[in-house]
């Protein structure tokens, strides 16, 4: 379940149509059973299972338009998956890397989602005034989603690819900045969802609990009995309800294929309903 594990449910490579004429170094990959075609760099940071699971955890189905922010969107995979599953969603994608932001724009257009998705080329950690000037308003979104870099700068060998390096590593302490940005854009009563490495759960809880309540923690396990490799954490802005540890979610069965629940999400675009995983009290 690494960040580079692309969910290959269709043909990888060139896809018919001028929108997907591949430039050098870019592949076109199928997500959600072929319902989405996503251009992304052939090398470096590549969206995969983590992005689809994060998108699936976005709450929806309220019967009214849902405003969603995909923070650090990369080529837009998370926001695209949300929009494909939730026809009432209006999604803003924020990405600071020019190459990735350009691919996100192309992906939005090529998947015929331009009426409901916007791409902002900006650093989500910029000052509020800078982002407001770019058109990003505070406390505007019902749902804020984030898949921040999983590693701290200096904790390993840095990639020579600047796009991959920026997507995979961030300065020490920057996770708190991400949580602050998520809270800045989330409306009161809205929800934020973050996916991260399981061994970073203590830091994730520390930074989110300062700004959100009713935290739901879901471990993502590659196989039954294996330790969680990733965690999804969702919180509600303004809630004082206690933390809830949910039963783990298993991605692969004993045969190596996806479990039925994982298959429904990764191939059919089903949601991952954290609220239904146990009644909350308090």
Which residue segment(s) compose the domain that 192 sits in?
18-277
Q: Per the domain annotation, does 3 fall within a domain?
A: no
> What are 116-150's pLDDT values in tens digits?
999 999 999 999 899 999 999 899 999 999 999 98
> What are 255-274's pLDDT values in tens digits?
999 999 999 999 999 999 88
Model pTM score: 0.86
Q: Per the domain annotation, does 4 fall within a domain?
A: no
Q: How far apart are CA 23 and CA 20, in angstroms?
A: 9
Q: What residues contact residue 215 under an 8 Å CB cut-off, 6+ apart?
A: 205, 208, 209, 233, 234, 235, 243, 244
Q: Per the domain annotation, does 7 fall within a domain?
A: no
**153 pLDDT more than 60:** no
Q: Per the domain annotation, does 282 fall within a domain?
A: no
CATH number of the CATH domain containing 234: 3.40.50.150
Q: Per the domain annotation, does 133 fall within a domain?
A: yes
How many structural domains does the chain have? 1
> Residue 150 has what pLDDT?
84
Closest-CA residue to 244 (of 210, 216, 282): 216
Q: Per the domain annotation, does 1 fall within a domain?
A: no
Instruction: With cut-offs at 50, 70 and 90, classify the pLDDT of residue 46.
Output: confident
């Amino acid at each position: 379940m690494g960040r580079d594990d692309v969910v290959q449910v269709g043909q990888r490579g060139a896809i018919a149509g001028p929108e997907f004429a591949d430039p050098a170094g870019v592949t076109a990959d199928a997500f959600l059973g072929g319902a989405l075609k996503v251009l992304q760099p052939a090398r470096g940071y590549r969206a995969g299972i983590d992005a689809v699971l994060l998108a699936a955890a976005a709450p929806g189905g309220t019967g009214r338009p849902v405003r969603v922010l995909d923070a650090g969107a990369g080529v837009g995979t998370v926001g695209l998956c949300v929009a494909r599953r939730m026809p009432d969603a209006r999604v803003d994608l924020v990405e600071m890397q020019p190459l990735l932001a350009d691919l996100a724009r192309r992906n939005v257009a090529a998947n015929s989602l331009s009426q409901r998705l916007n791409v902002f080329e900006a650093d989500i950690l910029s000052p509020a005034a800078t982002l407001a000037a770019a058109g990003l308003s505070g406390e505007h979104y019902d749902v804020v989603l984030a898949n921040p870099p999983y590693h701290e700068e200096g904790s390993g060998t840095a990639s020579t690819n600047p796009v991959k390096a920026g997507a995979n590593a961030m300065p020490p302490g920057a996770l708190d900045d991400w949580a602050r940005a998520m809270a800045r854009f989330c409306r009161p009563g809205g929800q934020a969802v973050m996916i991260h490495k399981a061994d970073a759960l203590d830091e994730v809880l520390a930074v989110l609990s300062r700004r959100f309540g009713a935290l739901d923690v879901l471990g993502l396990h590659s196989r039954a009995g294996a330790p969680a490799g990733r965690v999804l954490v969702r919180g509600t802005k303004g809630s004082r309800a206690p933390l809830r540890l949910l039963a783990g979610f298993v991605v692969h069965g004993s045969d190596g294929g996806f479990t039925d629940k994982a298959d429904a999400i990764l191939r059919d675009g089903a949601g991952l309903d954290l609220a239904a995983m146990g009644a909350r009290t308090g």
